[in-house]
């Protein structure tokens, strides 16, 4: 392709060439899920979250301890939307996320928890067409260990800062539909083997890495119980073979 025209046509050609280059990187190394060029565009958001974290910890340290009932054990379950950041945002769409965890409170203001986090990573239709794969699916899940600092904001409301490290796993595959002989055990139990449509995996890749996360949340106590509604924004980052995956899930759920 030649881009020798003047004016806005030259700009349009450059834009198309850039998209094709990114699609080529994705096709050649599907498992990476992001181009190798990485400039950490999420740094500003991380700095803002860290500032909130430091501020909340400072406020918590200034609050005098007082005797009051609180749960020694904590449980949380939530779900929401996860938003890709950086280069991942150029071809992965926002989609559903889920988190569940539990831990232990050492004091009214400080505890630790461990969480399972899952994030769907659907691929943009435009890039799916460019790499000539009818179906492309990807996801990331993690197991994290996180200290949590809480700050009461009255009888009903509260705030907290949470963050830590964990093990992250990302996987994806490109498939195409085709006719074949289906001998799935469940299907065979009812009908025996049959000819039908099934997905053929063209390429797949998975990778694991250590990563980190940091976030802030708000809670609202339900009645006089220890059950609380919560909303939270968290920044997750993990580098797979020096290629970064950055995600910001926003979740709503229940804490106890």
115 backbone dihedrals φ, ψ, rounded to 5° = -135, 145
Q: What is the pLDDT of residue 15?
A: 44
Closest CA to 118 of 147, 162, 78: 78
**pLDDT tens string 169-208:** 999 888 777 766 666 665 555 555 666 666 677 788 899 9
> Is the per-residue pLDDT at 219 higher than 70?
yes
> Is the per-residue pLDDT at 161 higher than 90?
yes
In the chain, domain spans: 32-175+201-255
**pLDDT tens string 134-143:** 788 899 999 9
Distance CA 31, CA 24 (A): 13
Q: What pTM, to 2 d.p., does this model score?
A: 0.68
Q: What is the DSSP letter of 90?
A: G
pLDDT band at 221 (very low <50, low <70, confident <90, very high): very high
The arithmetic mean of pLDDT across residues 113-121, rounded, is: 96
The answer to whether 139 touches 170, Cβ cutoff 8 Å, is yes
Overall CATH class of domain 32-175+201-255: mainly beta
**pLDDT tens string 54-99:** 554 555 445 444 444 578 899 999 999 999 998 888 888 999 999 9
**pLDDT tens string 33-45:** 333 333 344 455 5
pLDDT band at 20 (very low <50, low <70, confident <90, very high): very low
């Amino acid at each position: 392709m030649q881009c020798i025209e003047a004016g806005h046509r030259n700009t349009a050609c450059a834009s198309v060439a850039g998209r094709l280059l990114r699609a080529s990187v994705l096709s050649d190394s599907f498992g990476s899920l992001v181009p190798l060029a990485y400039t950490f565009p999420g740094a500003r958001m991380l700095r803002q979250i860290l500032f909130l974290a430091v501020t909340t910890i400072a406020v918590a340290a200034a609050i005098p301890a007082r005797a009051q009932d609180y749960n020694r054990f904590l449980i949380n379950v939530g779900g929401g939307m996860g938003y890709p950041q950086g280069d991942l945002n150029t071809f992965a769409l926002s989609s559903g996320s889920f988190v569940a965890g539990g831990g232990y409170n050492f004091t009214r203001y400080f505890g630790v928890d461990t969480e399972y986090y899952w994030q769907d990573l659907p691929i943009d239709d435009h890039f799916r067409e460019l790499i000539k794969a009818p179906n492309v699916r990807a996801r990331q899940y993690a197991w994290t260990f996180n200290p949590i600092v809480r700050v009461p904001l009255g009888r009903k409301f509260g705030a907290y800062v949470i963050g830590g490290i964990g093990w992250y796993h990302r996987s994806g595959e490109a498939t195409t539909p085709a006719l074949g002989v289906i001998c799935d055990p469940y299907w065979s139990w009812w009908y025996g083997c049959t000819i039908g449509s099934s997905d053929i995996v063209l390429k797949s890749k998975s990778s694991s890495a250590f990563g980190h996360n940091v976030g802030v949340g708000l809670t609202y106590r339900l009645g006089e119980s220890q059950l609380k509604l919560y909303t939270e924004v968290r920044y997750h980052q993990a580098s797979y073979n020096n290629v970064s995956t950055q995600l910001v899930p926003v979740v709503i759920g229940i804490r106890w």
